[in-house]
């Protein structure tokens, strides 16, 4: 039923699915949240929402012409070539463009993900001819994997290594090139096809569960909007342009406000208390909750984290970290509002 | 028993099998229905019907000489080369031809499905020498997989990626080319050889179950027609030519009428009600039912969807989407008329 | 005990095994019967009979020098090169030769079965240098697989695709050539080593079960003939030459008579009745039975199908198509006469 | 404990193991017996006996310089090159040499067994540069596989195809060459490491079971001879040279006498009776028994098969052909005398 | 939650986790301890601590420009090239630099670990063009494997061989080069994803179990420090610089003191007693305990091993060596203090 | 805990482990014993002892510059090149050097074990450019496999073939070279990681079980010696130099005396009796026991085998040959003295 129209369905026209939409926006506000895993049945708006997100993303500066998305102002986020030019005193050409959503197809080979080196030229001419991979394209952006639980184990290993080290290494028969590769990982999955390896599950900062709407009126609204969109995508998008622009500006404001958001010691203790009560492993949950709560406050226009922010953050950050317990209980708590498919 | 005659058995000469024939015609009227999965025992007319369909398909316009079936009037359905020429202001040469049925053999390699790149030439001469695959040939047409449940997992991944993104990427050691690849997927399967992965199952808009006829008189009719056809395929086709032409025109009329078909709010609520009662996942089923019901109305020459259209659409669209329940009950309901083998 | 003598054991000197011999001859009379599967224990005359069959086959006309066995009188059975010459108005050189038995060894690679393309030359000189495979050699003839149940799954997929489409596609990295490939498939198997995939089983028109003889006098006759043959193959063949010639002429007569054989409606109903009673899948069984019955009538010199022909045809055509029931009961019915090993 | 001395242990110095020695000699007398499978525990004289056999083999004539062992007097046993020269009227150079024992190591690759083609040269110079494999070397000789039950399945397929067709096909990317490959297959196995596939088991004409000696005096004799051999292989061989020569002459006499050996009808009925009583599959057992019994008569200097010959032949030919019954009972009957290890 | 900042989190700012920190420091004091295995749940400071360790490591001397980290003063720790120059009397250029932490990603290929040889150049120019692997880079340093239990079996074999022989052999089609490869192996693992092969487990001198802190106040401290670090890594590191420098000097002092540390016979008997009581295999545990106890004494500024040192050493060295018993009991004993995540 | 010092730990300084040390020395005295399998827990002196053995090995003569260790005095132990020169009458250059211990790493590829051929040069220049493998290096020496039970099945097949035939064949695409490859196989294994294939087990002449010492005083002695060795390997070796030299001379004397050692018939009967009582397979055990007993007598300076020699030989030769019975009982009998780890 995907129409594959090059015009994406507007994010703001999605009916319901508040958890899903919030978790995506929080990751735009603070990319340090490390992504979101979207679990849900077939035919819910999982992919639609992620693709629609592209429209709302802020701009970043990149070194013009650099296939590795080097940051012209931060040597630590530069690939070797840009770094060499920077160190040689060159003033790197700057281009502004939107943060990118890079899609990783399930059938992608390791070469396509990692990139390759044309070894012959490398050896003959002493020059590394690099074909950057999807990890280079996703640096400083969003890497989106539809059906992330179907990924080949080898590709998962590559994602884990890259997520752990913030670096991707392209190599072929001993010749190698490393470049920064830091990205927000967004994955969707239908649990019917199998679960994630614990290691990969842990790499997602947040997790939401999406389900179809059960209110007939809202279902009809979904079908009406969808039919209208398929009849004429451009006109439909136009109709929602105002709403889209408003959301875009709200996100920009929240990004700007985030560093000023404060969390009291009481809030920090409330966060620690959550993790301890649920028995989640380690400390990562505390830090994700703090970041999510601050992003929620910024999104709400406040500069102080509230107890409600902690509640909402816990609902998004803890469900997939609870050890050996069923998911649903917790997800339902924080995911009561259901959405469009 | 396949005679492999280059002259296909006439679609209109198939005895019975109304569900199968209807589901194929609906997909021709609205390719947005995303195909049909034909389940059934050995020796029923599954393959015969799909191959016969070719005769009834309408014409489309393609860029002449373009192996990617680029649409001369829609830049979003153009492959890179045609698009570049279009953007350079060239008036692309147009050719009219029938929508194509491309057959994907179970033994096909990934290279044959995706296409390949002659890397040496690409690197030496800076020119990409592309050998387009079956997905390029099937763009804007029908991709037919006999025994779809026997497909290699890697090829299934490729089909899923392509169906999800509307794009196919040919790549070899880092050199890559992407082109639009949107097709109606038609698959047959004998459940004795194993079921489909849920992910692939969900990609089929409709699903029908075919069985052998149990009325002796109709069985004898099948054998008589089949024997007559094998004795002299050309003469047999000639005998059915009038009927074939009538069906062809009826399909063309339905295609033209489709955009004018209306569905009342009562109809939309009836559709939502069906999905909710059967507990199917998500919202895809509602949208498929709406499209199928509209196509049925157009096929019947009406410009308003009726309750009977919803009933028939539900029989075709819901059976394979019901969660964890046996198939037969539902399929039988909407699939009472059996057909030829 | 295979002597591998280049002179085959005479078909007519095989003791007993009437079912096996009849099923082979029926396929020669009407290649549309799609072959025969020979099941049986070790050391029965399975391979011997198939190899001996070569001696009895009629002649066909082929395009001289064409490795694809193109039919000089039928463009639809021509490979691309012959077809191009034909379309260019060339009068194709004709050669008469016997129908061929092509043996597919269990260890054959996919390349050997399908054929290959010398890619380098193809790209450099713009000329496709084809090395045709066993499927090209078997076009319009018999493809024989000893121990067909041991075939590699990939090769089985190739056979199924070829049988389903009547076409074989040779491809290598995107360069491809398709040619007609229609053959009678004859396979032997010892069920001790595993059963066939249902899909492949269904491709065989007929199926016979062979067993060793239990009458001591006939066993001694087998050994005597076999020993005489091994002592001096040429002399032994000479001794049976008259019988061989008589059978060859009888087959030729039956081929000529086949198109004139009629089947009454009563016969057609009797056929449909058989399938329905045994609960076989679909309609293929009816059509195979009709063809087998007609071939039996032709072989007996009659031009009307009798009830006995239907009985015999049912014994050969239905056993392997009955759903989920043990084989033996039915096979025994129609396979009472046992034969030589 | 294999000393790997290039001088083999003398066949005639092996203590006991009469079954094993007889079965090997019978295969030398009549290669049509299709080999012997030697089953037995570790450390019995299995390999020693086969390697020792080389010393007793008769001479054959081969085309000098031909790596395919073409027979200068039999066009049907010639490889393509020799055959072409023969057909061109050339008088082929003849060389006499002993029948060869070719050893097939368990780790041998398919290429080494089948042979390969240097494709580059073949295409460039239009000349097939063949590297013949072990099957070419074993033509008209003995192919010996130690631990035959450990062979890779692909290599087993190659052996079975070659045994079934008497032909080996060397192929690489569509270029191919076929040559005659008929050999006596001798295999040893320790059942502890797994059984044979039924298909391969059936290819062995005879089967013997060897066990260690249980009489202390004979065990000491084994150790004494073995120690003497290891101290000075040449001297030991010299000591047994007379015995060896006597056996060699006896074998030559039996080969000459074999064609004159007669079997009465009573004998043939006795043979058939054996197979029927034990319920072995098919007729191969009868024919092997007849051949073995005739070879036993020839070896004993008689020109009429006796009842005792049938008994002994049955003991060697039937054990591994009895369906679904334990081996030991039968083997013990005909294998009472145990031998050296 | 990994920020992948190029500035590592300061080792000394890690809250708690005393066992983990001690075991790492002991390995720096005496690399002969052969590394440490860090077991623990997700989100504890496992990786953080290892990466932080880099800051505290002492300097070593290497042959300048040598990719194999050859020791300019020890011919036995030189790679072939450096050794050849040394033997030729050349005075090798010396460079001082810190001991290195080399990270082995789970997705690394064998080639990347072992290194490769450019065979073409090697054969054509008689010159070995080596691309050293991670084992060359790790020589005389630390090899760190995050998620060591997910390593491919082939890579584990390479690590085991290298650990056993102190040598790594780079080879490609028969050309090979061996170089010294001795390293401290540090691995982390989450037991949820599977256990280690016993062989690899045994290669780790020490083993610690890390768990999240359960004291709310300390959890809040962890989050506060972490948030401060992520806000401004440089400023945070600066704040801890004094503490870091103190630890660095203490380590240097302990390294210098180690050779002077004595262990009385009573201590040695206490060590032997520990192994015998727990029933650990072999003698390796005794020797590791002795080394660890001496390093603990050196770290505490004493030159005599105390009973408490033996207790602490046993807690680190024995847990993973006890045969077939659950881990927790013992680890808990010696690992009571928990730490940051 | 392996220090990987290039100076090996002195054999004579190993505490206890008498069985292990004796079995190694017996194989040096008579390489016809075909090696020893060392079973034992982690951390016992298994590897240490084998590596230490190198120091005690006698010298042999080899053809100078020959990578196949050809014996200048024995054409049957020459590789093709040396043999050709010898047959051409050349006086081969002789070099004396110690018998070598060649280590086969578990991660070694088949190419590295077997060797390879540079095919391109071979075909172009008609010259075989051989890269000999580890089997060539081990000819006439010791092949040592640490963790022999972890070897890849393909490499095990290669070892078995080579052990069975005394020959190794290097081949690549049909080009091949065979050279003698006879070696003493020494393997260690920790049964926790899995058992050996029976076939490989049988190739080891002797088998010992090693365990850690349980006497505290001896354990302390082990640690003391080990610590002293690690502090200063050269000084430690120096301290044991006298003892080492004495052992070296004793071994040389035993080698010289071995051919003169006699075994009475009573001894031979005692040996046969042992095998029969324990029910070992075949005769290999008798012959190994005889050789081991003679070597023990030679080592003890006697020229007559005693009953005690038979007892000791049985303890080493029979344990791993007893059919289907637990190991421990027997091993304990002959392996009472335990040793260092």
Q: Contact A283/E219, CB-based, under 8 Å?
A: yes
Count Cα neighbours of F154 within 13 Å in the Cβ-side half-sphere.
10
Closest chain A CA to residue B114: A107
Q: Which tokens in the block code for residue E196? A: 């280690």
Beta strands in chain F (DSSP E): 36-40, 59-63, 94-98, 101-103, 115-118, 129-132, 142-145, 167-172, 175-180, 184-189, 206-210
Give the 3-state secondary structure of residue C174. Answer: coil
Domain of residue D322, CATH code: 1.10.8.80
Closest C-alpha to D19, from D205, D197, D207? D207
Q: Residue D296: enclosing H or E segment and its boundaries?
A: helix D284-299
Residue B60 sits in the same domain as residue B135: yes
Closest chain C CA to residue B8: C165
Instruction: Report the percentage of chain E scoring pLDDT > 70.
Output: 88
Residue B322 sits in the same domain as residue B192: no
Give the 3-state secondary structure of residue C259. Answer: helix
Which residues from F are below 8 Å from D150, CB to CB? 157, 199
pLDDT at E160 over 70: yes
pLDDT at A63 over 90: yes
Stretch among A229-233, A294-298, C293-297 having the lowest mean pLDDT: A229-233
Q: Tell me, yes or no, whether F193 lies in a domain.
A: yes
In sequence order, what are the beta bridge partners of D142? D101, D184
Domain end call among B182, B211, B239: B239
Task: Provide the shortest C-alpha distance from residue E203 to chain F (in Å).
Answer: 7
* Terminal-residue alpha carbon distance, chain F: 11
Q: Contact E219/A169, CB-based, under 8 Å?
A: no
Residue F93 CA to residue C114 CA, distance in Å, equals: 56
Residue C22 sits in the same domain as residue C137: yes
- C149-168 pLDDT tens trace: 989 888 998 998 888 888 89
Residue A149 sits in the same domain as residue A117: yes
Residues of F with catalytic roles: 284
Task: Provide the shortest C-alpha distance from residue B167 to chain C (in Å).
Answer: 19
Q: Which of D172, D197, D284, D302 is catalytic?
A: D284
Query: Which domain range does residue F271 map to?
Result: 257-338
Residue B15 CA to residue B20 CA, distance in Å, equals: 11
Among C116, C272, C273, C318, which would you mutate to test the B interface (most chain B Cβ atoms within 10 Å of its Cβ)?
A: C272
State how many domains chain A has: 2
In sequence order, what are the beta bridge partners of A170? A177
How far is the CA of B73 from the CAs of B63, B69, B259, in angstroms?
9, 12, 19
Torsion of CA D14, D15, D20, D25, to 10 degrees: 50
Among D42, D172, D224, which would you mutate to test the F interface (most chain F Cβ atoms within 10 Å of its Cβ)?
A: D42
pLDDT at E270 over 80: yes
Q: Which tokens in the block code for residue F155? A: 């490499």
Domain of residue D169, CATH code: 3.40.50.300
pTM of the predicted structure, to 2 decimals? 0.81
How far is the CA of C152 from the CAs of A264, B38, C108, D113, in angstroms?
68, 27, 9, 19
Q: Contact F226/E202, CB-based, under 8 Å?
A: no
Q: Contact A283/E223, CB-based, under 8 Å?
A: yes
SS3 letters for A102-145?
EECCCCCCHHHHHEEEEHHHHHHHCCCEEEECHHHHHCCCEEEE
Q: Tell me, yes or no, whether F24 lies in a domain.
A: yes
Among F2, F113, F114, which would you mutate to test the E interface (most chain E Cβ atoms within 10 Å of its Cβ)?
A: F2
Beta strands in chain E (DSSP E): 36-40, 59-63, 94-98, 101-103, 115-118, 129-132, 142-145, 167-172, 175-180, 184-189, 206-210
Using DSSP, how many helices (H) and how many strands (E) does chain C show? 15, 11
Of residues A127 and A34, more confidently modeled? A34
Q: Which tokens in the block code for residue E316? A: 């680190």
How far is the CA of F141 from the CAs of B97, F54, F92, F106, F207, in angstroms?
77, 10, 20, 19, 19
Closest chain C CA to residue D290: C223
Residues of A with catalytic roles: 284
Among F197, F272, F322, which would you mutate to test the D interface (most chain D Cβ atoms within 10 Å of its Cβ)?
A: F272
Count Cα neighbours of E81 within 13 Å in the Cβ-side half-sphere.
14
Closest C-alpha to D210, from D338, D91, D306, D89? D338
Which residues from E are below 8 Å from F109, CB to CB? 171
Question: What are the φ and ψ backbone dihedral angles of F31, each rounded to 5 degrees?
Answer: -60, -15
Task: Provide the shortest C-alpha distance from residue F275 to chain E (in Å).
Answer: 32
Of residues C145 and A171, more confidently modeled? C145
Instruction: Give the mean pLDDT of D216-240.
Output: 91
Residue B227 sits in the same domain as residue B264: no
Which residues from B are below 8 Å from C283, CB to CB? 43-45, 212-213, 219, 222-223, 226, 340-341
Give the 3-state secondary structure of residue F104. Answer: coil
Task: Provide the shortest C-alpha distance from residue A68 to chain B (in Å).
Answer: 14
Q: Residue F298: enclosing H or E segment and its boundaries?
A: helix F284-299
User: What is the per-residue pLDDT for C224?
Assistant: 92
User: What is the per-residue pLDDT for C126?
Assistant: 56
Q: Which tokens in the block code for residue F13? A: 């300084």
Q: Which tokens in the block code for residue F55? A: 């120091």
Closest C-alpha to E180, from E63, E260, E258? E63
Residue A141 sits in the same domain as residue A271: no
- B182-233 pLDDT tens trace: 999 999 998 877 888 888 888 899 999 988 888 999 999 999 999 899 888 8
Domain end call among C194, C209, C239: C239
User: What is the per-residue pLDDT for A122?
Assistant: 52
Residue B92 sits in the same domain as residue B193: yes
- E25-65 pLDDT tens trace: 999 999 989 899 999 877 677 888 888 898 899 999 999 98
Closest chain C CA to residue D164: C2
Average per-residue pLDDT for chain A? 85
pLDDT at B60 over 70: yes
Closest C-alpha to D133, from D191, D177, D184, D186? D177
Question: What are the φ and ψ backbone dihedral angles of E142, each rounded to 5 degrees?
Answer: -115, 130
Q: Residue B210: enclosing H or E segment and its boundaries?
A: strand B206-210
Confidence of residue A16 (pLDDT cuts 50, 70, 90): confident
Task: Provide the shortest C-alpha distance from residue E211 to chain A (in Å).
Answer: 7
pLDDT values of chain F reduced to their tens digit, one per residue, 341 residues: 333 456 889 999 999 889 999 999 999 999 989 899 999 877 677 888 888 898 899 999 999 989 899 999 888 888 888 898 998 889 999 999 999 999 999 888 888 899 887 655 655 555 567 888 999 999 999 999 988 998 988 899 899 888 888 889 888 766 678 899 999 999 999 887 788 888 888 889 999 998 888 899 999 999 999 989 988 888 999 999 999 999 999 999 999 999 999 999 999 999 999 988 888 878 888 999 999 999 999 999 999 999 999 999 999 999 888 864 433 333 333 333 344 44
Instruction: Give the mean pLDDT of D150-159.
Output: 89
Task: Provide the shortest C-alpha distance from residue D280 to chain F (in Å).
Answer: 30
Closest C-alpha to F203, from C60, D146, D231? D146
User: What is the per-residue pLDDT for F126?
Assistant: 56
pLDDT at D128 over 90: no
Q: Contact B282/A41, CB-based, under 8 Å?
A: yes
Instruction: Report the percentage of chain A scoring pLDDT > 90.
Output: 49
Selecting from E160, E205, E281 the residue whose C-beta is nearest the C-beta of F41 gives E281
Instruction: Report the percentage of chain B scoring pLDDT > 90.
Output: 48
Q: How many Cβ pairs within 8 Å bridge chains A and B?
A: 128
Q: Which of C225, C284, C302, C321 is catalytic?
A: C284
Q: Tell me, yes or no, whether A252 lies in a domain.
A: no
Question: What are the φ and ψ backbone dihedral angles of A33, each rounded to 5 degrees?
Answer: -75, -10
Neighbours of E96 (CB within 10 A): 9
pLDDT at D331 over 50: no
Residue D268 sits in the same domain as residue D224: no
Residue B76 CA to residue C255 CA, distance in Å, equals: 58
User: What is the per-residue pLDDT for B23?
Assistant: 95
pLDDT at B143 over 70: yes
Residue E69 CA to residue E77 CA, distance in Å, equals: 8
Using DSSP, how many helices (H) and how many strands (E) does chain B show? 15, 11
Residue D157 CA to residue D154 CA, distance in Å, equals: 5
Which residues from E are below 8 Å from A163, CB to CB? 2
User: What is the per-residue pLDDT for F214?
Assistant: 86
Average per-residue pLDDT for chain C? 85
pLDDT at A103 over 70: yes
Confidence of residue D124 (pLDDT cuts 50, 70, 90): low
Q: Which of E172, E248, E284, E302 is catalytic?
A: E284
User: What is the per-residue pLDDT for A6?
Assistant: 66
Closest chain A CA to residue B290: A223
Calculate ∠ Cα F126-D71-D27, nearest 5°: 110
Question: What are the φ and ψ backbone dihedral angles of F209, each rounded to 5 degrees?
Answer: -115, 125
Task: Provide the shortest C-alpha distance from residue A54 to chain E (in Å).
Answer: 23
Closest C-alpha to C2, from C47, C40, C33, C41? C47
Residue D115 sits in the same domain as residue D39: yes
Question: What are the φ and ψ backbone dihedral angles of D61, each rounded to 5 degrees?
Answer: -100, 135
Instruction: Give the mean pLDDT of E208-231.
Output: 90
Selecting from E180, E199, E205 the residue whose C-beta is nearest the C-beta of F1 gives E205
Q: Contact F161/D6, CB-based, under 8 Å?
A: no
Residue A324 CA to residue A149 CA, distance in Å, equals: 19
User: What is the per-residue pLDDT for B173?
Assistant: 63
pLDDT at C22 over 90: yes
Closest C-alpha to C113, from D162, D116, D174? D174
Q: Tell me, yes or no, whether A250 lies in a domain.
A: no
Q: Tell me, yes or no, whether E251 lies in a domain.
A: no
Selecting from C32, C171, C283 the residue whose C-beta is nearest the C-beta of B222 gives C283
Closest C-alpha to D311, from D267, D276, D280, D279? D267
Q: Which tokens in the block code for residue D318? A: 């039937």
User: What is the per-residue pLDDT for F74?
Assistant: 86
Which residues from C are below 8 Å from D169, CB to CB? 105, 112
Instruction: Give the mean pLDDT of B239-260.
Output: 94
Q: Tell me, yes or no, whether D245 lies in a domain.
A: no
Confidence of residue D16 (pLDDT cuts 50, 70, 90): confident
Selecting from B173, B286, B290 the residue whose C-beta is nearest the C-beta of A116 gives B173
Residue B333 sits in the same domain as residue B193: no
Residue D145 sits in the same domain as residue D183: yes
Please report the DSSP string for C193-221 in residue order.
Answer: G----HHHHHH-SEEEEE-----HHHHHH
Cβ neighbours of residue A208 closer than 8 Å, sequence gap 6 or more:
A19, A20, A23, A36, A37, A38, A39, A316, A331, A335
Of residues F229 and C198, more confidently modeled? F229
Q: Tell me, yes or no, whether D186 lies in a domain.
A: yes
Stretch among A226-235, B44-53, D69-78, D205-214 having the lowest mean pLDDT: B44-53
- D246-277 pLDDT tens trace: 999 999 999 999 999 999 999 999 999 998 88
Instruction: Give the mean pLDDT of B240-257.
Output: 94
Which residues from A are below 8 Å from B286, CB to CB? 219, 222-223
Q: Which tokens in the block code for residue A341? A: 């498919």
In sequence order, what are the beta bridge partners of D178? D169
Q: Which tokens in the block code for residue D323? A: 């369906």
Stretch among D82-96, D316-330, E86-100 having the lowest mean pLDDT: D316-330
Q: Contact B282/A43, CB-based, under 8 Å?
A: yes
Among B3, B4, B173, B217, which would you mutate to test the C interface (most chain C Cβ atoms within 10 Å of its Cβ)?
A: B4
Residue D235 sits in the same domain as residue D261: no
Instruction: Report the percentage of chain D scoring pLDDT > 90.
Output: 48
Confidence of residue B249 (pLDDT cuts 50, 70, 90): very high
Residues belonging to chain E: 341
Instruction: Report the percentage of chain C scoring pLDDT > 90.
Output: 48
Q: Contact B281/A227, CB-based, under 8 Å?
A: no
Confidence of residue B142 (pLDDT cuts 50, 70, 90): very high
Q: Tell me, yes or no, whether A187 lies in a domain.
A: yes
Residue B126: DSSP 8-state: S
Stretch among A112-116, B174-178, E294-298 having the lowest mean pLDDT: B174-178
Selecting from E154, E174, E259 the residue whose C-beta is nearest the C-beta of F116 gives E174
Contact assessment for residue B138 and residue B183, using Cβ atoms and an 8 Å cutoff: yes
Average per-residue pLDDT for chain D? 85
Domain end call among E174, E204, E239: E239
Residue B226 CA to residue E183 CA, distance in Å, equals: 77
């Amino acid at each position: 039923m995907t129409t594959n129209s090059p015009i994406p369905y507007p994010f703001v026209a999605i009916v319901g699915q508040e958890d899903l939409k919030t978790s995506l926006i929080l990751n735009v506000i603070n990319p340090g949240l490390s992504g979101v895993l979207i679990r849900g049945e077939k035919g819910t708006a999982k992919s639609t929402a992620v693709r629609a997100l592209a429209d709302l993303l802020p701009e970043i500066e990149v070194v013009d012409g650099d296939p590795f998305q080097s940051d012209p102002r931060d040597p630590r986020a530069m690939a070797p070539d840009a770094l060499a030019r920077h160190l040689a005193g060159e003033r790197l050409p700057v281009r502004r463009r939107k943060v990118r959503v890079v899609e990783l197809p399930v059938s992608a080979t390791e070469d396509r993900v990692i990139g390759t080196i044309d070894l012959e030229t490398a050896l003959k001419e002493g020059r590394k001819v690099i074909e950057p991979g999807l990890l280079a394209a996703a640096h400083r952006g969003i890497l989106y994997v539809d059906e992330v639980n179907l990924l080949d184990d080898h590709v998962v290993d590559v994602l884990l290594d890259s997520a752990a080290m913030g670096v991707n290494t392209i190599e072929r028969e001993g010749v190698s090139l490393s470049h920064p590769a830091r990205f927000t990982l967004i994955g969707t999955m239908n649990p019917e096809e199998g679960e994630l390896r614990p290691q990969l599950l842990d790499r997602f900062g947040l997790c939401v569960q999406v389900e179809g709407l059960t209110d007939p009126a809202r279902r009809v609204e979904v079908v009406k909007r969808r039919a209208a969109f398929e009849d004429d995508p451009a006109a439909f998008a136009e109709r929602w342009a105002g709403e889209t622009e408003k959301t875009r500006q709200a996100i920009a404001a929240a990004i700007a406000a985030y560093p000023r958001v404060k969390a009291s010691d009481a809030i920090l203790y409330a966060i620690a208390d959550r993790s301890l009560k649920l028995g989640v492993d380690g400390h990562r949950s505390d830090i994700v909750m703090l970041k999510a709560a601050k992003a929620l406050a910024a999104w709400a226009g406040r500069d102080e984290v509230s107890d409600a922010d902690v509640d909402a953050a816990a609902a998004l950050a803890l469900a997939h970290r609870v050890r050996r317990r069923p998911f649903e209980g917790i997800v339902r708590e924080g995911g009561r509002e259901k959405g469009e498919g």
